[in-house]
Amino acid sequence: MVRVTDGREFWTGRRVGNGRTAGSKPISSGPASPRAGPATNRTRRTDADATAALLASVPFPKCLGKPDEWAQLAEAMITSGCFNGECVRLDGAIRMAPADPHRRHPMPEAFIVAAARTAAGRRNGRLSGWHPVDLAAQVLNALVDRAGIDPAAVDDVIMGCTMQVGEQSNNVARNAVLASRLPESVPGTSLDRQCGSSQQALHFAAQAVMSGTQDCVIAAGVESMTRVPMGTSSSLPRKNGLGFYMSPEIQARYPGIEFSQFMGAEMLSKKYGLSKDALDRYALESHQRAIAATQAGRFATEIVPVAVRRADGSRDNGELHTVDEGIRFDASLEGIAGVKRLQEGGVITAANASQIADGATGVMVVSERGLKALGCKPLARVHHLSLLGHDPVIMLEAPIPATLNALKKTGLGIDDIDAFEVNEAFAPVPLAWLQATGADPAKLNVNGGAIALGHPLGASGTKLMATLIHVLQQRGGRYGLQTMCEGGGMANVTLIERL
């Protein structure tokens, strides 16, 4: 409501979203009166309508200066939502009543300003001689260099890692900070959401800067599957009498079941009618896409070159590791089809599953305030973050409902997304996802996936994000969606908008 000194007033109503305002007709004369009727009787009007009505009904107060300045003021106040059903007096000075505490304000945003990864190394391959802490430190240094910021400006490092034992124990994130060029003032914390660990690190980083409590956070991941083999975090304590994660209550809820990603992959294949031939053909396509991307140099901008270090101490004469080691440049359907099945009568083989890999990855996330203070150029804006729990027995199906849930929340359709990164833990995961979502296969994992490039567990989340950002840049796309299956039957979904 606007009230002027002669007693006349105008109710602007409340903003109702999408640039529209609900309000009543202006009261053109008479003393100040109570609210004109219940909200249900008010007419919905656009901001332009409200501005015009306001200017027509309220006499121009000379104390405000020129008439055109008053018009600009009125329009700005309406379109910005200042008229939120509250009284604004024009008696020589403008004073607004307290805003409605229930009114929704725009959420602060998170921006990705740097994204990088090492090329993956095969088990006992070109990265097997790197201590995972030191390998992760290389990515932290690269992110700071790419963003061009003072290392002391980093508020926190959040690092995903699945096997947090041995060389990856005792807070691998903080240890990586201490092994990097970041100052001791930069803290670090580690997390485990299984294969989605570094994607969750990105979610936590984005939420931190969106909350306003921090302005620059690195989300990263590391996994040396050579030096700390998959399953070590549960098998090692079990072998040494320290128990197992399957508690009595879990066993009572899931009698006779030991959660297994391999059994989940078989179950997923059966549920969606995926034959071994279909899985093998998809695996070949993953290699072919990775070969094409590598030969075209499409990974060059995301990969951090690091020295070759083998487990036996050899350094390959100082050569740099810049190509994902798992790619089979001679891959053929016959070769893939000939690999032994993991179980009799099953469809899963080592050839249509992700490769064991060593690697480190990361992204730098900043707030809008951080963009201005640090002078960074954003690569992408975080558009949506969500996650979902699902059936822990089939385990690998969660990306499907999680994706559909994310699209529903954002109001986007599957065709609005320009590129997808769905982790290829096993070939049935992306194939079932395609079948259920109806997404365009030509937009999925366009540079290949984990079947060809490797899956360094806790590092794969920000690995996929680094690739997704660069794919959008190279293809001129707007929206990108990333999701992945996770142990325990979960999935994260991250939607970004290229800037």
Per-residue pLDDT tens over the stretch 415-448: 999 999 999 999 999 999 999 999 999 999 999 9
Do 84 and 128 share a structural domain?
no
Contacts 24+ apart (CB under 8 A), 250-256: 254/392, 254/393
What's the chain's average pLDDT?
86
Lowest mean pLDDT among 102-116, 217-231, 292-306, 393-407: 102-116
Do 184 and 55 share a structural domain?
no
What's the burial of 253, exposed, middle or buried (CB within 10 Å: 0-12/13-18/19+)? exposed
At which residue do the structure tokens 């006349």 appear?
8
Total count of domains within the chain: 2
Does residue 481 lie within any of the structural domains? yes
By annotation, the residues acting in catalysis are 195, 455, 485
Does residue 92 lie within any of the structural domains? yes
| Max CA pair span of the chain | 92
- Angle at 239 (CA atoms; ends 125, 357), nearest 5 degrees: 20
Do 25 and 126 share a structural domain?
no
Do 332 and 451 share a structural domain?
yes
Helices (H), 10-148: 47-57, 67-79, 132-147
Does residue 336 lie within any of the structural domains? yes
Cα distances (angstroms) measured from residue 14 to each of 53, 84, 128, 197: 15, 5, 62, 42
Do 486 and 382 share a structural domain?
yes
pLDDT tens per residue across span 291-348: 999 999 999 999 999 999 999 988 888 899 999 999 999 999 999 999 999 999 999 9
321 secondary structure, DSSP code = E
Instruction: Note down the domain range covering 84.
Output: 2-96
Of 391, 415, 387, 390, the C-alpha closest to 483 is: 387
Does residue 249 lie within any of the structural domains? no
